[in-house]
Amino acid sequence: MRKFLLHFLFWVIFFLMWNRIMYFYISNDLNRIYFSVLDVSMIMLAFYIIYLYIMPYYFKQKNIWVLLLSSLILIGLLSGLFSWMMWIFLQHNLVPIHFEVLWNYRDLQFNRFFIALVGILGGCFVKLAIDRLEAGKRIEVMEKEKSVAELNYLKAQLNPHFLFNSLNSLYAQMEIGSADAKGTLSSLADMLRYQLYECNSDFIPVEKELAYLKNYFNLQRIRRDNCKTELALDETQNNFLIAPLLLIPFMENAFKYVSDGDETGNFIKANISFKANKLIFNCINTIDETGLSLLPANDKGIGLMNVQKRLELIYKNRYCLQAGIVNKQYEVILTIDLK
């Protein structure tokens, strides 16, 4: 119903404009309405035949010659039909003509030909424009569905290497009777619970995401004896919501590529703060020659492709991501407007 009303409103406005613009020189109101009705009805007929039948067939077959031939046949049929109708009206004086214009049958045919052409071109352009918009929406939906599928896959999997290392660390702590073993087991259980059950929504409370990051950070730092690690979290989150598992790839990369030399000052520093409605994530780590060699030559960050795609889909025009290497230190600065 809404679409019908939009079409109806468009043609009413189009008729009024056509009536005033194309036949401004006709002083007789009846004649002006008569010619406008014939013109607009012909344009509408050509428009909807192209829009509803010929263009959809063209989209399926992708044959430009069929489209051109069909359009020419349609122009010929419509111009012939309406020329004959107008000739009948003029011959029998069904509508009195009150302006001095000499019409013959050829003039009518040429006139109707161009009027039909207007409708056909209008139908083609409108259908092409709508198809382009719908194609863009379909692509956007597909991208979002792909992003959701990737996120679901990320939620469903647990990095076996990380799990193996965490269990080894837990075993070593239990062997020596460390009091930290209980905390390690609790952190690992919290991470599993969060990843498998709590982050099934599109958005979650930001404090849950930060608790997950903190548990991950604490578990990873256990096996990094020669690396100084530091994590600072702002406790004033103001009930913000955030897309789940969005920040963890940066933390994973920091521990994966951090330098491991005995003579260098290895460190990982991460900071998450809030300013106004924005989350500001900053992570910096040292990188040795081995880590540098693993970086793609044209990559401005480590493993940022999927994260940046998710950011673009979820926080389009509401985020700023900067990443790069300076003096063998890799730094990520991500700002997200969470409002």
Which of 201-205, 237-241, 270-274, 296-300 is the most confident on average? Answer: 270-274
* Secondary structure of the chain in HEC code, one letter for each residue: CHHHHHHHHHHHHHHHHHHHHCCCCCCCHHHHHHHHHHHHHHHHHHHHHHHHHHHHHHHHHCCHHHHHHHHHHHHHHHHHHHHHHHHHHHHCCCCCCCCCCCCCHHHHHHHHHHHHHHHHHHHHHHHHHHHHHHHHHHHHHHHHHHHHHHHHHHHHCCCHHHHHHHHHHHHHHHHCCCCHHHHHHHHHHHHHHHHHHHCCCCCEEHHHHHHHHHHHHHHHHCCCCCCEEEEEECCCCCCCEECCCCCHHHHHHHHHHCCCCCCCCCEEEEEEEEECCEEEEEEEEECCHHHHHHCCCCCCCCCCHHHHHHHHHHCCCCEEEEEEEECCEEEEEEEEECC
What domains sit in the chain, N to C, each tagged with a CATH number?
A: 2-146 (no CATH), 157-337 (3.30.565.10)
pLDDT of residue 42: 83
What type of residue sits at position 120? Answer: I
pLDDT (tens digit, 9 = 90+) per residue, 240-255?
899 888 888 888 888 8
Residue pLDDT, tens place only, 33-83: 777 788 888 888 888 888 888 888 888 877 788 778 888 888 778 877 777
**What is the structure's pLDDT at 301?**
45
Question: Over 50: is that where the pLDDT of 298 sits?
Answer: no
Alpha-carbon gap, residue 249 to 253, rounded angstroms: 6
Cα-based distances in Å from 335 to 237, 316, 317: 14, 12, 11
pLDDT digits (tens, 9 = 90+) for 169-198: 777 777 766 667 777 788 888 887 887 777
Q: Is pTM beyond 0.85 here?
A: no
